[in-house]
Structure formats: structure tokens, C-alpha cells
Amino acid sequence: MTTASLRLALVGAPNTGKTSLFNSLTGSRQKVANYPGVTVERKSGGFVTPEGRSVTVLDLPGTYSLRGRSPDEEITRDIVLGRFDGEAVPDLVLCVADATNLRLTLRLVLELKRVGRPMMLVLNMIDIARRRGVTIDLERMSQEIGLPIVTSVAVRKGGVDELLKRTDEFLARSHEAAASQWTTPTIADLKAAQREADRIIAAVVTLPTKPDTLTNRIDSVVLHPVGGLVILAVILFVMFQAVFTWAQPAMELLSDGFSALGQLIHDVMPEGWGLLQSFLQNGLISGVGSVIVFLPQIIIIFLFILLLEDFGYMARAAFLMDRIMGGAGLHGRAFIPLLSSFACAIPGIMATRVIDNRRDRLTTILIAPLMTCSARIPVYTLIISAFVPATTVWGFVNLQGLVMFGLYAAGITSALTVSAVAKFFLWRDHAPAPFMLELPDYKMPRLKSIAIGVFTRAKMFLYRAGTTILSMMVLIWFLASFPTAPAGAEGPAINYSFAAMIGHALEPLLRPIGFNWQIAVALIPGMAAREVAVAALGTVYSIEGGKEAADQIGQVLAQKWTLATALSLLVWYIFAPQCASTLAVIRRETGGAKWMVVTFIYMLALAYAASFLTFNLAQALGLH
């Protein structure tokens, strides 16, 4: 036991502070991955005990029992039982309980004991319990349940010292795992275990004379049928504002910084190195830039989400939104990820991690790209200002604004429809997860734990999504740059590239929806990011000045396209999977290419069908 590190597994019911304990044991030495083939997060980390033993910790998904009602809970069960392929059985199971709320965890402890692994019970948040006047006879309790008990205050410095000491003591002795006697509990088993747990609690816990009234007082405002919704709207408004306005300067700074760096490389490189120059500037540096530019949004969204989650508000938001979202087959918790997707689908999709149930999470991931993200705005504005007259209808409504609103509304409506359809077709064979969740007492969020959480997300995005996004960017650069234009060629270089060849090849397919080959060519670099299509259209139509010349591009397009084509392209942009980064993140978040392909195909089909309808309807109405 000197060289091999000890494997420790954290098990506990939701809201017991398991994650805070994990954070305080491992600090920033964490690795977040997915279990093979499933959408479940595998969180592991390491620490060294005071006596120098190295320990690896696995933070298992929270569960109320080992019954395995969802893929997450099945993982917890299978690892504890030692029957999960590729995961070693833990040497020591730490069952984490909230000392202020022992009822549900104690029943889980009794169930876990039947598995026979060496185990310790950690009474977390013991400080809050003591402050509220809860007294627990630890010695008696330890005798009753037959397990060693450690108290901890995961969120305070030094709060896990005793746990570390006891882990060392535990390791100094040898431990034999008993044979597992665990069988899937029946209702009678569960009730018997709950009665036993209640008996032990009655014997060892003295409840305070004054219950916690603060949570009740906050809830009477926050869960008020009307006031609660207003408060939720205000919180979301602030969050949405933060994502849009606070992140914007940082994003612009990053994006300007990377283009300046690209320009610098362009300038210092000697003449004649054109290709390498272009690769560094337009492929590599703009590729890296396009990954990093999302960081401010991701950090801000996760800061809000982790704060609200730690405070205990997320469960309340789900309570308030349940009926409203439920009509479309969405979980109450899908609300915040979907709202974030209005800024950008990438942090939105990453934020779906707050949804415990796998099916609810996949549905949310599937529809998040339909929310009108900020990258669509340049495309919408360009086409609307070029084709839609700025007239006033119904006396006070600006027609351009109305079309913009219509595009947003179409995105939301289609997302809700897709969700309802997915629920009906994809998940028909599965029992839907009922809405049943604990509303934990409010707690002051601890900044250190939040900081570790945000840091872990940012790192994960850079390492995991970043590599895929970067390689896609380089591929798109390659398609748009090769083969190079022959000497003395006329027109822009992109017209000679693979992108142009693909564009020409796609043109017959796109003609029924009113797209010409120039649009088809522009859509390929537009895969890098939606707004790039604007600059690409400028390039294809040989307009100097790129993005800055948007007005000019608009004038040219107004001459070259019919109104039917313009409307068709607008509709295309509501639905089309025109964002390689989003697809890359879906692949990473769902742990495989399957859901990325599903998203790509369904969005493409929707886009084609909707554009086809729009184009033909517009032509039939004589809109030229």
C-alpha cells in the first residue's frame, strides 16, 4: 500500500455538500471526463494524506438509493458494487451526509452497508447543524450503524483535517471487504430501512427548539406564485445582460488581439511565404482565437450558475418553471441553459450539466442551437437592412424590427416543437422522469469552491472542446485556401478553392431553395462561425473591406438576389447547423459523435424544408 494509491469513492444523496467536500479534498487537482459511452460526468481528483499516502478520489453521481433509476445512478451502483468495466472497486467508500438533514442519507447508508465495502460516514456541514442547535451523539450513532463517523466542514479551511487523519488511520489497518449482500430493495425493504433510519435519528439526534426560519422566510418571497416569477425574471435579466454586455468587451479585446497577432505574423514574415503566412494567420491563430473568444461567456455563465446552485436557488427556479417548461416536455432546469443559448449555444450546451436526468439533458442539448444566438445577428441585420424596407406597419411597428422579432420567435417556437417531437419519438419507450426534487436549505456560497468549479469548466472547455474546434477551423481554412489561384487568375482566390468546388457541386441541391453558387461557397467558411458568412459573401462578390463594408455588401446583394432568395437565406439561418464549434461541443458533451450527427441532420433537414417552403411561397406570391 506504499506505492499504489488508495481509491476512495464519495457517495451521497444530492445536496449533501458532496461536491464541496470533493473540491476541498482535491483543490484544483481535478479531472472531469465522461464515463465511456454515456453522458455522465466522471469527476476524479487526487490528494496526499498528512502521512504521505497518495489517494485518488472519485466523486460518484448523487443518489438516494442504489436502485439505479437513471444512467447516473446506475454508475454509482455499479462502481460501488465493483461491476463497472474499467473502474476498479473503491478501497474505501465515504458516504457523505448533510448533518442538518440525516433522514434520507441514513437510509442510503443502511443500504450501502449491505454492499460490504469498507466504509466511513462523513457528517458534512456539522457547523451549520451545531449553529442551529442540532446535537448528535456521534458515539452512539457510530455504534448503531456500525460504521466509523467523521465530521467535516467542507467549505472551511481545515474543515477536512479530521477526515484526512481518519483516512490515514484507516489505511494503517488492513481491511477486508465483506461479501456483498445487496439486492435491489423492494418497497418493503425501503420502508423498513427508512423506519430503522428514523429510529436511529430519534435515538441520537436532538433537534433544536427553533427550526431554521430563514429558509422559510426567503422561500415565502422567492416561491411566491407571482413575486417568485418576477424575481426569477430579474435574476435572468441580470445574467443575460452580464453575458451580453460584460463578456462583450473581453471578447472584442480577445478577438482584436488575435487579429493583431495574426497581422503581426503576416507583416514580419518574408515575402514568398504566402501559404505558411496564410496558415498561421488565417488557420492557426484565428483558429485558436475562435476557441479563446468564448471563454469570457463561459466563465460568466458558470459563475452565475454555480453561485445560484450553491445558494440553493436552482432547485427553486426549476420549481417555478416546471409547469411552464413541462408543456413542451422540458425539465424546469433546462430554462437557464436555453436562455444562455441566446448569447451562444456553446456555454448553453455546457450549462446543461445542471440537468441530472440524461434524457432531459439530451433534449435540451438538441434544441439549444435553435435559440437565436448572437452570431446570427450580423447575418440577420445584413439581409434585413438590404431587403426589408424600414417602413412602419400598423401605425407604430417598424417592419425591420418585426422581421427580426419573427426570426427570434421562429427559433423559440421550433425549439419547443422539436422538444415535444423528440419526447414523443425518441423517448417514448422510457418512463419520463417525474418532477420530484429536494429544495435544500439556503446556504451562503463559498467563493473558493465556486472558483474551483469555474476554473474546472474553463479548463475543460479549452482542453476538450478547444482541440476539436481548432481542428475544424484549420480544416475550413484548408478548404477555403486550396488549391491556390493560378497565376494571372481573375476574381478572388476563394473561387479556385475546394470550398468553391464544393459550393458549385452543392448548387444544384441548393437551387430549389433559391441559393446561387456564391451563397453555397460562402456557407462553407460560414461553418467556422455564422457571422463569417457575411465576410465570405463580401469576398465571393469581390467586395473590398470585408466585414466593415457591410453596407456595401447589402447594396450589392439587393441587386443580385431576389427577395425570395433573401428570405430563404434568412430562414436557412434560423435552423441550419451553421456552426462547427457548436457541433464540436455537442460531440464532447455527449461523449460521442452520435448526438452531433443527429443534431446536424435534423437541423439541416429543418433548414432545407423551411427554406424550400419560404422560397417557393415567396415566388408564388411574386416577391422578386
Judged by the rule CB under 8 A, the positions of this chain that interact with other proteins are: 64-65, 67, 69, 101, 103-104, 107, 187, 190-191, 194-195, 198, 207, 211, 215-216, 219-220, 223-226, 228-229, 315, 318-320, 322-324, 431-432, 434-440
Helical segments of 445-526, H only: 447-460, 466-481, 498-510, 517-523
Residue whose CB is less far from other proteins, 327 or 545: 327
Q: Following DSSP, what letter does each residue of 349-401 receive, concatenated?
A: HHHGGG--SHHHHHHHHHHGGGS--TTHHHHHHHHHHHHS---EETTTEEHHH
CB-neighbour burial class of residue 384 (10 A; exposed 0-12, middle 13-18, buried 19+) = buried
Minimum separation from the CB atom of position 316 to other proteins (A) = 8
Nearer to other proteins by Cβ, of 83 and 191: the residue is 191
**CB-wise, 216 or 241, nearer to other proteins?**
216
Vertex 259: Cα angle to 258 and 262 (nearest 5): 90
Give the Cα separation of 186 and 568 in Å (integer): 58
Nearest to other proteins of 18, 376 (CB atom):
18
* Cβ atoms 414, 366 nearer than 8 A: no
3-state secondary structure of 411: helix
Non-local CB neighbours of 187 within 8 Å, separated by 6+ positions:
none
383, HSE (Cβ side, Cα atoms, 13 Å): 26
Phi then psi for residue 55, to 5 deg, are -130, 135
Whether residue 349 contacts residue 586, with contact meaning beta carbons closer than 8 Å, is answered with yes
> Which of 488, 240, 422 lies closest to 343 in space, CA to CA?
240
CB of 101 to other proteins, least distance (A): 6
Report in angstroms how near the CB of residue 314 gets to other proteins at its nearest. 12
Which helix (H) or strand (E) segment is 94 a member of?
strand 92-98
Helix (H) or strand (E) holding 54: strand 54-59
As measured in angstroms, the least distance from the Cβ of 73 to other proteins is 11
Whether 484 and 496 have beta carbons less than 8 Å apart is answered as yes
Nearer to other proteins, 7 or 18 (CB): 18
Distances (CA, A) of 153 to 125, 138, 492, 528: 5, 16, 65, 47
CA-to-CA distance for 324 and 273, rounded, in angstroms? 59
Per-position b or e across 107-120, b if 16+ CB within 10 A of its CB = bbbbbbbebebbbb
Neighbours of 192 (CB within 10 A): 14
The residue among 4 and 431 lying less far from other proteins, judged by its C-beta, is 431
